[in-house]
Amino acid sequence: MTMPVTSNERSAGLYDEQLEEAFRRRPTPLLIKHKARIKAFFAAVVPLLLSLGLILLVWQLLCIKPTSALPSPSRIWSEANELILHPFYESGSQDIGLGWRVLTSLKRVAVGFGFASIAGILLGAFVGQSQWATRGLDPIFQVLRTVPPLAWLPISLAAFRDSQPSAIFVIFITSIWPIIINTAVGIRNIPQDYRNVAAVLQLNPLEFFWKIMIPSAAPYIFTGLRIGIGLSWLAIVAAEMLTGGVGIGFFIWDAWNSSRLPDIFVALAYIGITGFVLDRVVATIGTLATRGVQSN
Amino acid sequence: MTGYLKIENVCKIYTRGAVTTVVLEDICLRVEKGEFVSIIGHSGCGKSTLLNIVAGLTSATSGGVILEEREVNSPGPDRAVVFQNHSLLPWLSAYENVRLAVDKVFGGTMSRAERHEWTTHNLELVQMTHAAEKRPGEISGGMKQRVGIARALAMRPKVLLLDEPFGALDALTRAHLQDQVMALHESLGNTVMMITHDVDEAVLLSDRIVMMTNGPNATIGEALEVGLARPRRRVALAADATYLERRQRVLQFLYERNRYVDAA
């Protein structure tokens, strides 16, 4: 206990008071201070680790024979631990870590999804606002929405004659539909009250868009964006398998062609975790941005 | 009687397929500047439709509304509405809700500092300064309605339209807000048109009570000058002979001559 040395002249009463004060102010041990949080952390993590361990164990047992078609976890570790341990190594333009590859793919997704968000929200606002547009365009969107990403690729390659913009276009066209459709639903569901307020205030269309439409439809828009980012991440892997480059999608194709099955499994884990993180990021932004909108 | 706000021969007819329903028939009403007029009637008599026509949110089938010698047929801040369900934007704080109106109406004539001042002033009028930064979801129903009143007042409207403003509130909060609205009307001298179905509220607050007959084909059945001196005190009035007589007359109109018929 660190306490200023008190001189002998001080009365015993004062001394006791200081001692008490110092005792009260002593730092709480970290373990006790964060006990609740540590408990919550373990409560969340332990079941996850246990199930993960169980799955790996079953997998290991199923693929334990050296002749089995798919590699066991232990074989993946022994043959591909380089990829897991060093996600950001660089030795040559084509020989880079999976972290870099994921980042390259993410860049493409960012561009394609960015365009899809802007275009999707604008188109959705237009469609939601006009009954005529809803009747005319909604069925078309509903049909196009079901076209799988890879089916767009030949058209896109023919149109752009280059793999880079084609890959981005595939992401764009895959992720735009849920954004349009959800935004339109959100706009259609703007309560008449808010429209009345806007009318009394004589908001012009631009002000109405920014001050009423976007905030009011935000929960719907973010639902669309969340579905959209998931789809775009699905599309990038497929698109890159065909267009080449250094993305994570092409890595899988490349590994397949050179029979490096363990590498593919590691890449799958990277893709899955990245997709999960993307989803959480959009969901978190959505929760922050739509605070209050629902609590009416 | 010149009339500051004139409602002239307003009819409202809804047509759905082959069925036409006359909701309002030949409504004529003149409201003087600074006058507090209540419109009372059973639910479904079209009194809210009438208010919406004055606000410009609904258009009349025939007839028109004249405010200060000019016809009005589209919504605008000169006829600010306090909506029944407050209609605050839930993503904005109380201050921002009022500020949005202030910015829109006075954006060209007031400086940024003046607009801030005016916003704060109007929140003060309804005693909501303490919760200015709260969002509508975080404050009570009565407080929301006060912010709604502040937003309407902040537009400095020629006519303040109240659409059953206290309908969704509990009795005590309602009484408290009625007193506040009375005090505001006293000090600011607004022209007010209020829709209500509460007889006591109508007699307590208004200079004149306009009673509507039952729909369809609803029209103004009778208008009653309240003629009670202001300021009015609800407790003192409870035993006041004039007050009771006025109350009696409205009740007679509503429950004897125009008994509510359930159409359904």
User: What was the ipTM of the complex prediction?
Assistant: 0.87
pLDDT-based confidence at B262, cuts 50/70/90? low
A176 CB-near residues (< 8 Å, 6+ apart): A116, A119, A120, A123, A228
Q: Reply yes or no on whether the pLDDT at B178 is more than 70.
A: yes
Q: Do A197 and B104 touch (CB under 8 A)?
A: no
Q: What is the pLDDT of residue B101?
A: 94
Whether A186 and A129 have beta carbons less than 8 Å apart is answered as no
E strands, chain B, in order = 5-16, 19-31, 36-40, 62-67, 70-72, 79-82, 159-163, 191-196, 208-212, 220-225
The pLDDT tens digits of the residues spanning A5-44 come to 554 555 555 567 777 777 777 777 777 778 888 888 888 8
B contacts of A219 (beta carbons < 8 Å): none
Distance CA B254, CA B21 (A): 22
Tell me the pLDDT tens digit for each residue of A249-289: 888 888 888 888 888 999 999 999 999 999 999 999 988 88
Residue B80 at interface with chain A, using a CB cutoff of 8 Å: yes
Cα B4 to Cα B140: distance, rounded to the nearest angstrom: 35
Which chain A residues are within 8 Å of B148, Cβ to Cβ? Answer: none
* Contact residues, chain B, for A296 at CB < 8 Å: 90, 136-137
What pLDDT was estimated at residue A143? 93
Separation of alpha carbons B236 and A20, rounded Å: 62
Greatest distance between any 2 Cα atoms in chain A: 95
In sequence order, what are the residues at sequence separation of 6 or more whose Cβ sits closer than 8 angstroms to the Cβ of residue B117? none
Q: For residue A45, give the amino acid letter.
A: V
> Which tokens go with A44?
């969340």
**DSSP letters spanning chain A:** ---PPPPTTS-HHHHHHHHHHHHHHSPPPHHHHTHHHHHHHHHHHHHHHHHHHHHHHHHHHHT-STT-SS--HHHHHHHHHHHHH-TT-BSSSS-B-HHHHHHHHHHHHHHHHHHHHHHHHHHHHHHHH-HHHHHHHHHHHHHHTTS-HHHHHHHHHHHH-SHHHHHHHHHHHHHHHHHHHHHHHHHHT--HHHHHHHHHHT--HHHHIIIIIHHHHHHHHHHHHHHHHHHHHHHHHHHHHHH-SSSHHHHHHHHHHTT-HHHHHHHHHHHHHHHHHHHHHHHHHHHHHTTTTS--
Q: What is the pLDDT of residues B213-254, one digit of tens each?
A: 887 788 888 888 888 888 888 888 888 889 999 999 999 988
Provide the chain B residues 129-158 that lie in CB contact (below 8 A) with chain A. 135-138, 155
Question: Which residues of B fall within a CB distance of 8 Å from A294?
Answer: 90
All residues of chain B having their beta carbon less than 8 Å from the beta carbon of residue A207 are 104
Cα separation, B126 vs A283, whole angstroms: 38
Q: In chain A, which residues have their Cβ closer than 8 Å to the Cβ of B104?
A: 201-203, 207
Residue type, B246: R
Q: How many CB pairs under 8 A join A and B?
A: 63
Question: In chain A, what residues touch B74 (CB-CB under 8 Å)?
Answer: 199
Question: How many CB atoms sit inside 10 A of residue A288's CB?
Answer: 9
- Using an 8 Å CB-CB cutoff, list chain B residues near A215: 89, 91
Cβ within 8 Å, pair A196-B85: no
With pLDDT > 90 as the criterion, what percentage of chain A qualifies?
Answer: 43
Model confidence at A295, in pLDDT bands (50, 70, 90)?
Answer: very low
- Distance from the Cα of B71 to chain A's closest Cα (Å) equals 16
Q: Name the nearest CA neighbour of B82 among B162, B154, B193.
A: B162
Of how many residues is chain B composed? 264
Sheet holding B79-82, edge to edge: B79-82, B159-163, B191-196, B36-40, B208-212, B220-225
- Note whether B75 contacts A291, CB cutoff 8 Å: no
Task: State mean pLDDT over B197-207.
Answer: 91
Q: What are phi and psi of B14, to 5 degrees?
A: -100, 135
The pLDDT score that the predictor gives to residue A27 is: 75
Give the pLDDT band of residue A169 (cuts 50, 70, 90): very high
Mean pLDDT, all residues of chain B: 89
Q: Are B221 and B258 spatial neighbours (Cβ–Cβ below 8 Å)?
A: yes
- H/E element holding B176? helix B171-188
What's the token pair of residue B20?
A: 């036409």
Non-local (6+) Cβ contacts of B184 within 8 A are: B125, B126, B149, B153, B190
Band the pLDDT of B207: cuts 50, 70, 90.
Answer: very high
Chain A, window 200-219: residues with a beta carbon less than 8 angstroms from a chain B beta carbon: 200-203, 207, 211-212, 215-216, 218
Chain A residue numbers with beta carbons less than 8 Å from the beta carbon of B157 are none
Mean pLDDT of A132-140: 91
- Identify the residue among A200, A203, A214 best suited for mutation to test binding to B, counting B beta carbons within 10 A and taking the highest: A200
> Residues 83-122, chain B: which have Cβ within 8 Å of A?
83, 85, 87, 89-91, 100-101, 104-105
Cβ distance A196 to B83 less than 8 Å, yes or no, reads yes
B87 and A292 in contact by Cβ < 8 A?
no
For residues A192-209, average pLDDT: 92
User: Chain A residue closest to B154 (CA)?
Assistant: A201
Q: What φ, ψ does residue B152 adopt, rounded to 5°?
A: -65, -45
The model's confidence at residue A4, banded by pLDDT at 50, 70 and 90, is low
User: Is the Cβ of A189 closer than 8 Å to some Cβ of chain B?
Assistant: no
Hey, are the CB atoms on B89 and A291 less than 8 Å from each other? no
SS3 B81: strand
Interacting residues of A280 by C-beta distance below 8 A, sequence separation 6+: none
The Cα B22–Cα A282 span in angstroms is 51
| A41-76 per-position pLDDT tens digit | 888 899 999 999 999 999 999 888 888 888 888 888
A200–B100: do the CB atoms touch at under 8 Å?
no
Q: Pick the residue from chain A with its C-alpha nearest to B82.
A: A197
Question: Are A296 and B87 in contact (CB < 8 Å)?
Answer: no
**Tokens 């479904």 sit at which residue?**
B44
Q: pTM of this prediction? A: 0.78
